Each structure stands twice: as structure tokens, then as C-alpha cells.
């Protein structure tokens, strides 16, 4: 048997259902096709993840084939060339991923090539879960409770053993794809923080289990503390499976290595990942349109000066700017801070969430259509089970609460590093002397606030009145 494994968002060997199946059946030809439309940070990640995967496969005697083109054309062409018996893949649950998967299935079947897809990306197949009325869940808690009641810990699939084969196929060169930035090379900060690929994913996961998992519930909200898993980009590229996280976490709880409140909180965050994909499967229009249709009439302002200041981390609100600069430098932002900056953009700046979504898409290494869509709509107040629109984060209070001593702010906004804690979240309230001792001249070293918090809040609430029924 000759089997093509069409690689998509499943760049791993361990617990990979399609790959495991393929290797059990015969000679495997793994093929990855250049994906259009990723953001810059994601392409950087993809480069390193593919390099790592290619190395792992080569060690097992199997070359990774890289190709460019329309996937249905490319895969059928290879299938014809090697006279393949079957094509397998793990499903992708975004609207375009579903469409492509269906087209592939259809065309292969027409060619008479056997094909089969697997779930390697989610704990629960979205099309199998409905509420008591037989409709898709729209609220997280009942959705997740239902998932928990039907999930059973199945065994994880080992890394497959491959049979060596002598099929020679042409492959693009990874370097020719030019996925890495050249000039300017903005990736140095990314390199320092991340190790893309399956090895890095497993390392990160074990470090989390050993040092942070048991502090998760109380520690996950503080951006200066390393209490989050940092697994999101690894999950996006499928370098680690959510089933493994589920399996290992429950095992840790069982042997009391991790307290159940911490472990279950972590798993519920994996649940939010499931929920956002679930929503996008059942309501694909939310990629473009608000889930809550009343928001079609929301009077967004879309002021490009404010949006630009937000992107560059120059809003004059330190916690917001710290987050935006962390994003720019590392391709990542702490979850708490994502909520703060998103609230600031959609409410203080009255910008449509799509502007934020597009920027995140380009700059995040964990950019993911489903999470990006669901989370921006959640913050903007128009999503499923969303935070109400009038829940407007106060960037000063949020900073005081979650970065009490200013550690996080000082890391990313170093021009404020000598400012006393008292003013770290509101430098404009510091007196001249304090500012000059800290070597801060507002408007020169650090901007004045681009909007006044109270005025902006009132304007946002007034805008909301327009669509309130």
C-alpha cells in the first residue's frame, strides 16, 4: 500500500490519527502544501515547524514533500504519479478548511482514489454535539458540561514506525518558500521565546505540568508571571494534540500531582478553544459578521490615528502599550492583556473588532481563525456568550490589579521604568518633579493618553444606545 498523508494543521508524529493509520497500512508519503493567507508571524513559525518536522521524518527514513499550488490538484497529481492507494488527512475545522477537505474528498473519490479523514485537532467532533433541542450550543458552560459528560479518555497514539521505501518525489525547498523575514528581520524576539515544532511543544507542556499547572487558577491572570502554558501556537500548528493535554492533565489529577481545581481550569481553557471552533463550524458567518446581528448597526468610528497608535503601543495607557509591544516583539500576548487591549480598541477607540482581528492575524504566532473571531467578538460584546458591551475595562484599574508592581509594564515600556508604582498606570497624573526624576517627558518619551478614559467610556456607552432595542 502507498498512502499519501496530506499534512495540514497537524505537524506532529505523536498522537496523530491520520499519520498513525497511514503508517499502519503501508508506505507513507507525507505532503505539505504551501498555505496561502497566513500572517507574517505565522509564516515565521511555520518555517521552523516544517524544518523540525522534516528532520523528525528524515530520521525515520521518510522525506517530507513540500509543494505549491491548488491542494486538490497537487495531491491528485502526486497520487497519480506514485499510483497511490489512498490519501489520508486530519480535518481542519475553519470554513475554508472544511470546504477544501470536502473538495479533496470529492475529487479523489471521482478519481477512484480511496481517502479518509480523521479528527486530530479537537477533543469533540463539532457536528456531534447538540443541546436538548437538537440545536448548536451558544453558551460555553452548558457546551463544556456536555463535552465533559461524553468525553472518555482514550489511549494516545504512539509515534508511528515507518517502513522505508524508495519512492522519489520532487519537493520544493523550504528556504525557497521565503517564510522568514529578511529585511528588516523582526524575528529575533520570537526566536528568543519560542521553539516551534513538536519537540518544543512537548518541552513546553512538560515544563508547564511540572512548574505552573498547580498555580494556574490563581496565577494565570498576571502577565508578569510565567503561569500560563504558552502552548497556543503549538496547538494552532498541531504540534501537540488537545487529546494529549486532556489525557495527561487527568492523569496528573488522578495521581494528585495537580490539584483538580487547577487542572480543570486549564482544561476549561482548552474547552474555549473547542467552543470557538464549534461556533465557527455551526455559524460560519461569524468570521465576517457579528454573531449578534444587532451589532450590524453599531456606529463604529474607525479612527485611523487611534488604530495606528494602538497597533504601535503608543496609546498613553501603559498596560495597553505594554501588551501591544509584547505582541510586536514576541508574536504573543498574555491572555489578560489581550482582553484589555481588545476592550480598549473596540470601546475606548470605538474601532470595529475586525481591525484588531486583522492586526492579531498578522502579528500573533498563535493566530487562529476560530479563536481570533470568537475572542474579538466576545470582547466587543457581539459574540456568542459574549461579555456585555457595557463591560468596559478601565486600563488604569486593570493595570493596578494585574500588574501591581509594574513589572510587566516596565519590561515592555522601558521608558517608564523609573516611574514610581503609584503613577505607573497613569503617568499623566504624576507631578513635574516626579516625571523629571524618572526622566519622562510626556509627549516626548511617552505619549499623553490618546483618549480620556471617562469621556471615551461615556462615548462608548452612548454608541451602544444606538443598537440597544
Partner DNA sequence: TGAAATGTTGGGGCG
Partner DNA sequence: ACGCCCCAACATTTC
Q: How many alpha carbons fall within 13 Å on the CB side of residue 16?
A: 30
- Per CB under 7 A, contacts with DNA among 272-291 are 272
Shortest approach of DNA to residue 422 CB, angstroms?
17
Q: Which of 272, 310, 328, 359 is catalytic?
A: 272
Could you give the string, one character per residue 232-271, with x where binding to DNA holds by CB under 7 A and - elsewhere?
Answer: -------------------------------------x--
Ramachandran area for residue 281 (φ above 0: left; ψ -120 to 50: alpha; else beta): alpha
- Per CB under 7 A, contacts with DNA among 354-393 are 387-388, 390-393
Shortest approach of DNA to residue 292 CB, angstroms?
16
**Full DSSP string of 141-178:** HHHHHHHHHH---PPPPPPPPPPP---------TGGG-
Pairing assessment for the beta strands 2-7 and 65-67 based on DSSP bridges:
unpaired
| 90 is known as an active-site residue | no
466 counts as binding DNA under rule CB under 7 A: no
Among the listed ranges 62-70, 99-107, 407-415, 450-458, the one in contact with DNA (CB under 7 A) is 450-458
Q: Which is nearer to DNA, 241 or 398 (CB)?
A: 398
Omega within 30 of 0 (cis) for the link into 309: no
Scored b (16 or more CB within 10 A) or e, 44-58 reads bbbbbbbbbbbebbe
Q: Which of 269, 303, 415, 428 is catalytic?
A: 269
Among the listed ranges 50-58, 158-166, 289-297, 453-461, the one in contact with DNA (CB under 7 A) is 453-461
Q: Which is nearer to DNA, 264 or 387 (CB)?
A: 387
105 counts as binding DNA under rule CB under 7 A: no
Could you give the string, one character per residue 400-419, with x where binding to DNA holds by CB under 7 A and - elsewhere?
Answer: -x------------------
**Full DSSP string of 265-298:** HHHHHHHHHHHHHHHHHH-GGGGTS-SSGGGGG-
Q: Which is nearer to DNA, 173 or 454 (CB)?
A: 454
457 counts as binding DNA under rule CB under 7 A: yes
Among the listed ranges 23-31, 56-64, 277-285, 331-339, the one in contact with DNA (CB under 7 A) is 331-339
| Residues 101 and 10 sit within 8 Å (Cβ to Cβ) | no
* Structural element, H or E, at residue 98: helix 95-111
469 counts as binding DNA under rule CB under 7 A: no
454 counts as binding DNA under rule CB under 7 A: yes
Among the listed ranges 65-73, 104-112, 418-426, 456-464, the one in contact with DNA (CB under 7 A) is 456-464
| 335 is known as an active-site residue | yes
Q: Which of 250, 264, 303, 335 is catalytic?
A: 335
| Residues 151 and 270 sit within 8 Å (Cβ to Cβ) | no
| Residues 280 and 93 sit within 8 Å (Cβ to Cβ) | yes
Shortest approach of DNA to residue 429 CB, angstroms?
14
Strand order in the sheet with 2-7: 65-67, 27-33, 2-7, 86-90, 114-118
Separation between Cα atoms, residue 146 and residue 126, nearest integer Å: 12
Shortest approach of DNA to residue 320 CB, angstroms?
12
Shortest approach of DNA to residue 337 CB, angstroms?
11
| 272 is known as an active-site residue | yes
Q: Which of 45, 359, 376, 378 is catalytic?
A: 376
Q: Which of 388, 393, 418, 422 is nearest to 405 (CA)?
A: 422
Shortest approach of DNA to residue 390 CB, angstroms?
4
- Interface with DNA (CB under 7 A), residue total 22
- Provide the CA 296 distance to its chain's centre, in angstroms: 26
Separation between Cα atoms, residue 159 and residue 161, nearest integer Å: 7
For residue 437, the tally of other CB atoms under 10 A from its CB is 13
Q: Which residues contact 135 (CB under 8 A, 6 or more apart)?
A: none
Q: Which is nearer to DNA, 184 or 388 (CB)?
A: 388
Q: Running DSSP on this structure, what letter comes out for residue 210?
A: I
Q: Cell 492579531 appears where?
A: 360
Q: Which is nearer to DNA, 402 or 423 (CB)?
A: 402
422 counts as binding DNA under rule CB under 7 A: no
Separation between Cα atoms, residue 135 and residue 167, nearest integer Å: 48
| 246 is known as an active-site residue | no
225 counts as binding DNA under rule CB under 7 A: no
CA torsion, ordered 57, 60, 62, 63, to nearest 10 deg: 40
Q: Cell 473588532 appears where?
A: 353
- Per CB under 7 A, contacts with DNA among 66-95 are none
Among the listed ranges 124-132, 150-158, 176-184, 449-457, the one in contact with DNA (CB under 7 A) is 449-457
Shortest approach of DNA to residue 39 CB, angstroms?
23
| 177 is known as an active-site residue | no
**140, 222, 283, 446: which one contacts DNA (CB under 7 A)?**
140
Q: Where does this chain bind DNA (CB under 7 A)? A: 140, 221, 269, 272, 335-336, 339, 387-388, 390-394, 397-398, 401, 453-454, 457, 461, 464
Q: Which residues are catalytic?
A: 269, 272, 300, 335, 353, 376
Amino acid at each position: 500500500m502507498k498512502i499519501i498523508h496530506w499534512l495540514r494543521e497537524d505537524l506532529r508524529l505523536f498522537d496523530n490519527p491520520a499519520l498513525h493509520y497511514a503508517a499502519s497500512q503501508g508506505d507513507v508519503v507525507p505532503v505539505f502544501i504551501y498555505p496561502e493567507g497566513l500572517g507574517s508571524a505565522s509564516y515565521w513559525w511555520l518555517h521552523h515547524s516544517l524544518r523540525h518536522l522534516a528532520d523528525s521524518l528524515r530520521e525515520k527514513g521518510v522525506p517530507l514533500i513540500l509543494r505549491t499550488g491548488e491542494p486538490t490538484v497537487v495531491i491528485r497529481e502526486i497520487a497519480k504519479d506514485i499510483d497511490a492507494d489512498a490519501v489520508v488527512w486530519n480535518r481542519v475545522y475553519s470554513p475554508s478548511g472544511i470546504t477544501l477537505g470536502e473538495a479533496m474528498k470529492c475529487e479523489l473519490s471521482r478519481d477512484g482514489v480511496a481517502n479518509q479523514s480523521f479528527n486530530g485537532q479537537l477533543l469533540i467532533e463539532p457536528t456531534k454535539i447538540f443541546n436538548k433541542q437538537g440545536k448548536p450550543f451558544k453558551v460555553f458552560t452548558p457546551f463544556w458540561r456536555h463535552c465533559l459528560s461524553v468525553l472518555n479518555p482514550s489511549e494516545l497514539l504512539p509515534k508511528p514506525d515507518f517502513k522505508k521505501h524508495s519512492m522519489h518525489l520532487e519537493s520544493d525547498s523550504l528556504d525557497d518558500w521565503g517564510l522568514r523575514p529578511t529585511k528588516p528581520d523582526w524575528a529575533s524576539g520570537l526566536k528568543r521565546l519560542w521553539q516551534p515544532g513538536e519537540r518544543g511543544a512537548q518541552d513546553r507542556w512538560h515544563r508547564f505540568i511540572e512548574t505552573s499547572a498547580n498555580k494556574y487558577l490563581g496565577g494565570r491572570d498576571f502577565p508578569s508571571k510565567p503561569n500560563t502554558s504558552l502552548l497556543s501556537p503549538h496547538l494552532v500548528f498541531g504540534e501537540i494534540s488537545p487529546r494529549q493535554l486532556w489525557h495527561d492533565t487527568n492523569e496528573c489529577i488522578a495521581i494528585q500531582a495537580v490539584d483538580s481545581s487547577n487542572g480543570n481550569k486549564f482544561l476549561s481553557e482548552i474547552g474555549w478553544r473547542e467552543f470557538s471552533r464549534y461556533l465557527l463550524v455551526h455559524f460560519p458567518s461569524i468570521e465576517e459578521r457579528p454573531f449578534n446581528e444587532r451589532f450590524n448597526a453599531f456606529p463604529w468610528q474607525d479612527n485611523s490615528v487611534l488604530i495606528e497608535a494602538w497597533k504601535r503601543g503608543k496609546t498613553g495607557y501603559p498596560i495597553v502599550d505594554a501588551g501591544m509591544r509584547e505582541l510586536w516583539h514576541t508574536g504573543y500576548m498574555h491572555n489578560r492583556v489581550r482582553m484589555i487591549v481588545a476592550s480598549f480598541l473596540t470601546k475606548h477607540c470605538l474601532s470595529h473588532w475586525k481591525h484588531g482581528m486583522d492586526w492579531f492575524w498578522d502579528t500573533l504566532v498563535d493566530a487562529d481563525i476560530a479563536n481570533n473571531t470568537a475572542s474579538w467578538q466576545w470582547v466587543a460584546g457581539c459574540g456568542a456568550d459574549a461579555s456585555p458591551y457595557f463591560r468596559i475595562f478601565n486600563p488604569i484599574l486593570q493595570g493596578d490589579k494585574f500588574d501591581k508592581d509594574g513589572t510587566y509594564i516596565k519590561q515592555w515600556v522601558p521608558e517608564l521604568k523609573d516611574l514610581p508604582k503609584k503613577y505607573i498606570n497613569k503617568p499623566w497624573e504624576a507631578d513635574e518633579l516626579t516625571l523629571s526624576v524618572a526622566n519622562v517627558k510626556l509627549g516626548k518619551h511617552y505619549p499623553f493618553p490618546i483618549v480620556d478614559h471617562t469621556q471615551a467610556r461615556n462615548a462608548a456607552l452612548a454608541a451602544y444606545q444606538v443598537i440597544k432595542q
